[in-house]
Amino acid sequence: MAFDALVSKKTGALALIAAAGMTLTPIPADARPAAPTGRQTTAPARQSPSGLSALAWMVADADTGRVLASKNSHRKLAPASTLKTLFAVTVLPKFSADRVRQVSASDLSGLGAGSSVVGVHQGSRYTVADLWRGVFLRSGNDAVHVLAAMNGGWSTTAREMQQTANRLGARDTTVKSPDGYDTPGQVSSAFDLTVFARAGLANEEFARYCSTIRATFPATGGAAVQIENTNRLLVGSHGMARYPGIIGVKNGYTSKAGNTLIAAARRNGHTLIATVLNPQSGALNGVYKEAGTLLDWGFNRLTHAEPVGRSDSTDDGS
């Protein structure tokens, strides 16, 4: 897959970092440049991305952690299912892909009204890989509930996700519902969601799941059904072309959050992440079009744009 080259370079080193109990360096704040070193020079004027209506957005270099451009990147907003990236970063490493779970009634208890589901049924047996495909492709809150039950329960998983966010330096995030379902007090930011995506993409399994377009999922009676990723920029569907070099990551929608999207793409040896929260234009596929605009802008300017910040910059709390 397109992401294999990045994984082969990064996964081993990042696994050693995780094993040593160290943390990934957070992506920098959007409005304060890194502290200058050596001779100071005047940075050239930069043209920012235009035509964006989202309440908050960011485009960053996943390889270096540089923020290329952003707006309101620390504004606390409802994340919808993009919060599943933090769920995956927290829980995915804990269970082998071939482990089997027979779903109980308690596994599915508390599933929110109107939740997106992949079709997990009480009494049926699923591999962990099945459940993760349900999470990433269909944004299945039912699959999240089962994995959270395996992880010690809903509250335990929310608490561990909060700990993971804190460890990654994602200070805008408050976790109340691991599946991203609208819950009072649950917020994240474009900055934090970009951090979660960057951490996730360093994991080979995460990278594979989030880039999967179609897969089979167990159905009742031993049959299987085909499921398709709901990320239109990845699939190329519902009037959107597949974005060149796209490798994921996660889309979401709730009535409170509006449309949300974390999109990552790789071209010419560079991986960029664009995070878009709640576009206001009302345009069809607006969240996908605005993410595509950010990725286009980033790839066009990556080699010569002056970055807004680096990983040693100071968080301005914007």
CB–CB of 170/190 below 8 Å?
no
**Cα distance between residue 198 and residue 64, in whole Å:** 10
Q: Is residue 199 part of a domain?
A: yes
pLDDT at residue 301, as a whole number? 87
- Shortest CA distance to 11 belongs to which of 247, 204, 164, 199? 204
- Shortest CA distance to 300 belongs to which of 275, 263, 265, 276? 265
Catalytic residues: 81, 84, 139
Which residues constitute the domain of residue 117? 4-15+50-301
Q: Is residue 71 part of a domain?
A: yes
pLDDT at residue 47, as a whole number? 76
Task: For 19-159, list the strands marked E by DSSP.
Answer: 56-61, 67-71, 100-102, 125-127
**Cα distance between residue 4 and residue 212, in whole Å:** 13
Which CATH number characterizes residue 258's domain?
Answer: 3.40.710.10
Q: Is residue 311 part of a domain?
A: no
**Cα distance between residue 192 and residue 185, in whole Å:** 16
**Cα distance between residue 172 and residue 168, in whole Å:** 11
Radius of gyration of the chain, Cα coordinates, nearest whole angstrom: 19
pLDDT at residue 223, as a whole number? 85
Q: Is residue 239 part of a domain?
A: yes
CB–CB of 274/296 below 8 Å?
no
Pairing of strands 125-127, 214-218: unpaired
Q: Report the length, in residues, of the chain.
A: 318
Task: With a cut of 50, list the residues of the chain below it in pLDDT.
Answer: 1-45, 305, 307-318
CB–CB of 217/130 below 8 Å?
yes
Total of domains in the chain: 1
- Shortest CA distance to 194 belongs to which of 132, 249, 133? 249
Q: Is residue 310 part of a domain?
A: no
Query: What's the token pair of residue 138?
Result: 């269909």
Q: Which amino acid is at 216?
A: T
**Cα distance between residue 313 and residue 64, in whole Å:** 13
Stated as kind and residue range, the H or E segment containing 214 is: strand 214-218
- Shortest CA distance to 177 belongs to which of 198, 201, 161? 161
CB–CB of 128/95 below 8 Å?
yes
Q: Is residue 158 part of a domain?
A: yes
Q: Which residues contact 255 (CB under 8 A, 6 or more apart)?
A: 182
